[in-house]
Structure 1
Amino acid sequence: MNKKFTVPFALTLAAVALVGCSSNKTKVEEIKPNKLPKIVQAKTLVPVFFEHVTQTNKNDPLRLQMGADNGVIFFVDPKGYVEAYKGKQRLWSTKLTKKHGLSAGVEVGEGIVVAGNEKGELFALDETSGQIKWAAQLSGAVIAPSHIQAGRVITVSNDGNVYAHDVSTGQQLWTYRLPNVSFSLRGRAAPVMLDPNNVLIATSNAYVYVIDVISGVPRLQRRVAVAEGRSDVQRLNDISGDPVMMGQYMVTTSYQGQVAVTDLAQQQVLWTQDASSNQRPEVIQNKVFVSTTDGKVIAYDLMSGQKLWENTQLLHRNLSNPVMLGSDLVVGDYEGALSLLDPNTGNLIGRSNTKGQVTSLRVIDNQLYVSTQKGALSVWQNR
């Protein structure tokens, strides 16, 4: 029986930092994060919502993201609750499971809120009332948010099975088995819409699959990254950050691999640049923004792959995914700093602070949704 071994991302950094000091001894090279630089006339963000939930394991942060729909904010508590707020008013709070907490979610769409846990339990709640509409048992842990599209809830379990459930009833409509990967990071990209008929699934072996959302029939598979090395750790090249579509172009990042732009209409890779990242890239106005595993923030031209700028002021600060909020590029770090950068130059132009390592940034309706390892959930907007 094939077994899959997952490695927490923090441990992989320690593993690749090992340096020999004798024939029978090794030590971990200490890497100190850069101190936050001072910013003259710094811009700040305005907080508009804050709530605190249970903190998660620092070495294994979960994919717990906030969601919003029609002015209502939805979020997950790792202990098993899903809650909805309108401003400061709590509309409902639902306990999903007594025995197990939640490890991924939320995703909101088509009238439901979806979350899952490490026991493979997938839950759908009515968006308005918070009542559980249905629950399904998957074959592996749910460690990435689901995706809702065309009446389907698309979920990838950690053992490599892709599931489609009916939005209304929870009936399992199809499954697709991804190739087995025996050694990977503890993380998985969420499914992403390619077009109204197809969904993108990125895998732990640097492949991306296009699957028909209605039938579950695969339409395309393509490798988008290559990693080299002598050990299993050195050859890790997972796509843990969600792919991003910009017209016919798909942008992907991979750990110890490349930033790649693939022209899906021509079914060929347009360009690649060596850069290690386990975070979702941001693509705005023909620019690709990437936060790397060593703390660089880099901008590339979407069509040519030319490096436009590189910021190294936040090295080794365990950066989150970058996002565009209005005219500013925002990235979070391990101390809860939300750094604002000029997307044209890469210069630091502002900062705000939350509590704990930033694990997820999303922009919904021009507001910034922030989740942290310490359970600080907040919404911000430009001043």
Structure 2
Amino acid sequence: MRIRPRAWLWPLACSLFLVGCGMFGSEDEPIEPPAELTEFDASLAVREAWDVRVGSGAEELNLALRPAVEGGRVYAVGRDGVLHALDLETGDVTWKVDTELRVSAGPAVGHGLAVLGTTSGILAAFDLADGAELWRTDLSGEILAAPDIAPTAVVVRTVDGKLRALSADTGAELWMVEHRPPRLSLRGTAGPVIVGEIVVAGFDNGRIGAYGLRDGEPLWENTLSFGRGRTEIERLADVDATPQVVGQDVYIVSYRGRLVNVTAASGQLLWANEISSYSGLDVDWTTVFVTNDESVVLALNRSSGAELWSQDALRMRALTAPGAIGNSVVVGDFEGWLHWLDAVTGALQARHRPGKAAFVTRPVASGGVLVVQDEADRVYALRAEPRG
């Protein structure tokens, strides 16, 4: 099958930033347009298994609304706060509940909970079994990244630079640490991750830190990105991509900084690669996949950080973080296209456009099913198979 090109439309990439389009260039520095999609021989056939509308849409808000899969169910929520539990295979609605929240992040799922965050700073937890609300807590700080969940605690970042742990049972605050954010930063935050009894989080000042899950005791801190330049824009150094974990290894990337591999227990730097990203990354057992700030997709050796391949055919298309699935890695773009790349070579394998709304969050893989949510709050389940 030949995949035909499509004329590009200018992406609303400015919505990613507080400072607007001026960040990307000046009168003396023209802005690079997004790459046009060109024909190629597709090696995979993509099939839509089902799709479900879970909300009224959140176009151009760049919200961290990303489905989560657990126990054969897909949990998804739209901007207007209707939380859905869907059957992974059929898309049938198991239950749904109107939370009456303006949701900006989540759901995070685990240990019997589905947890949502809002722009007004509300963090709320619901029972995975039936959607019953268990608790809600006002944190008084916008939540733009999904929390992480342990049996005893839920940890969450807010845009005011605070990292909090709340009781998983009651929502009561257990501890809080703070990194004062710079005056100017990208719109977005990196979600924290829990590694055993350790919480690892990135901050808008370019630093990453680890804290004890029980009491928030600081364990170590490293700098990912140093703000350099004469202006505040030139000194932007945010860590806005949620870390990825394999065993005790943590992989994290910053804007205008580095992608690093550190140990969760000590923060020991195992390797670093000079890569700038706000979209994020994914990791499998052998490879780290990352979308850089120019929408070039790269693959790195997980053990050494050495570059294995890069794919620049989708430059400046406001790509999501990559999602690894089987022998492929998938990214979404600003026009609503999903692109399958060969995980070993980076070659384009397939392209599919289920709708017209942009994708802004990383695709989710469960078995052979890819689950994605676009900015129109439509959730899709897709399968890709070799062409015969």
Same fold (TM over 0.5): yes
* Cα distance in 1 for residues equivalent to 2:140 and 2:268: 33
Query: 8 Å contact 1:371–1:377 — kept in the other structure?
Result: yes
Question: Is the counterpart of residue 280 in structure 1 residue 280 in structure 2?
Answer: yes
**1:71 maps to what in 2?**
72
User: Does the 8 Å CA contact 1:288/1:299 hold for their aligned counterparts?
Assistant: yes
The 5-angstrom pairing of residues 156-195 of structure 1 reads 156-194=157-195
The Cα shift of 1:366 comes to 4.1
* 8 Å contact kept, 1:205–1:237: yes
**Pairs within 5 Å for 1:260-275:** 260-264=260-264, 267-275=267-275
Greater Cα offset, 243-252 or 287-296: 243-252
Sort the Cα spacing of 1:181 and 1:286 in 2 relative to 1 into closer, same or farther, 3 A. same
Partner of 1:24: none
Q: Is the 8 A contact 2:294 2:315 kept in 1?
A: yes
How far residue 57 of structure 1 moved from its aligned partner, in angstroms, is 3.6
Unaligned runs of 5+ in 1: 1-6, 22-27
Q: Structure 2 vs 1, CA of residues 135 and 226 (structure 1 numbering), >3 Å: closer, same or farther?
A: same
**Contact between 2:249 and 2:263, CA under 8 Å: does it hold in 1?**
yes
Q: Counterparts of 2:262 and 2:174 in 1: how far apart (Å)?
A: 30
| CA shift digits 1:23-47 (9 cap, x unpaired) | xxxxx83432111121214313332
Q: Which residue of 2 aligns with 1:37?
A: 38
Displacement of 1:333: 0.9
Select the residue among 88, 95, 98 that pairs with 1:95.
98
Question: For the residues of structure 1 that align with 2:180 and 2:23, how far apart are their CA atoms?
Answer: 26
Residue 255 of structure 1 aligns to a residue whose secondary structure is coil
Distance 1:13 1:170, change over 3 A: closer
Correspondence list, 1:1-383, <5 A: 8-10=15-17, 14-20=21-27, 29-52=30-53, 53-58=55-60, 60-86=61-87, 87-97=90-100, 100-194=101-195, 196-264=196-264, 267-355=267-355, 356-360=357-361, 361-383=363-385
Deviation at 1:266, TM superposition (A): 6.2
- Equivalent residue for 1:25? none
The structural deviation recorded for 1:322 is 0.5
Task: Output the CA distance in 2 between the equivalents of 1:166 and 1:241.
Answer: 25
* Post-superposition CA distance 1:266-308 (Å, at most 9, x none): 6443333332211221222432211112121112223333222
Range with greater deviation from structure 2 (155-164 or 82-91): 82-91
User: Which residue in the other structure is 1:3 paired with?
Assistant: none
Tell me, yes or no, if the aligned pair for 1:325 and 1:382 is still in contact at 8 Å: no
Structure 2 residue aligned with 1:4 = none
> Unaligned regions of 5+ residues in structure 2, if any?
1-13
> How far apart are the structure 2 equivalents of 1:249 and 1:340?
27
CA displacement 1:197-239 (0-9 Å, x = unmatched): 1111111112111111122222111112234222111111211
Q: Structure 1 stretch 204-213 or stretch 270-279: which is displaced more? A: 270-279
Amino acid in structure 2 at the alignment position of 1:61? N
Deviations 1:296-346 (A, max 9, x none): 111222333322211111011101011111111111111121111112211
Letter in 1 for 2:65: L
In structure 2, the CA distance between the partners of 1:46 and 1:365, relative to structure 1 (3 Å rule), is same
Q: Distance in 2 between matches of 1:112 and 1:307?
A: 38
1:84, CA displacement in angstroms? Answer: 1.5
Verify the 8 A CA contact 1:15 1:233 in the aligned structure 2. Answer: no
Cα distance between partner residues in 2 of 1:321 and 1:41: 22
Query: Which amino acid counterpart does residue 199 of structure 2 have in structure 1?
Result: V
Task: Report if aligned partners of 1:318, 1:333 keep a CA contact under 8 Å in 2.
Answer: yes
Is the 2:16–2:62 contact (alpha carbons within 8 Å) kept by the matching residues of 1? no
Describe the SS at the equivalent of 1:91: strand
1:163 is paired with a residue of what secondary structure?
A: strand
Partner of 2:21, secondary structure, is helix
8 Å CA contact retained: 1:110, 1:151: no
Normalising by structure 2, we get a TM-score of 0.88
SS of the aligned residue for 2:40 comes to coil
CA deviation after TM superposition for structure 1 residue 265, in Å: 5.9
Equivalents in 2 of 1:343, 1:202: separation in Å? Answer: 27
Instruction: State the distance in 1 between where 2:23 and 2:180 align.
Output: 26
Amino acid at match of 2:80: K
For 2:240 and 2:40, the matched residues in 1 are separated by 32
**Aligned residues of 2:272 and 2:305 also touching (Cα < 8 A):** yes
| Distance across 2 between alignment mates of 1:287 and 1:278 | 19
Describe the shift of the 1:299–1:204 C-alpha distance in structure 2 as closer, same or farther (beyond 3 A).
Answer: same
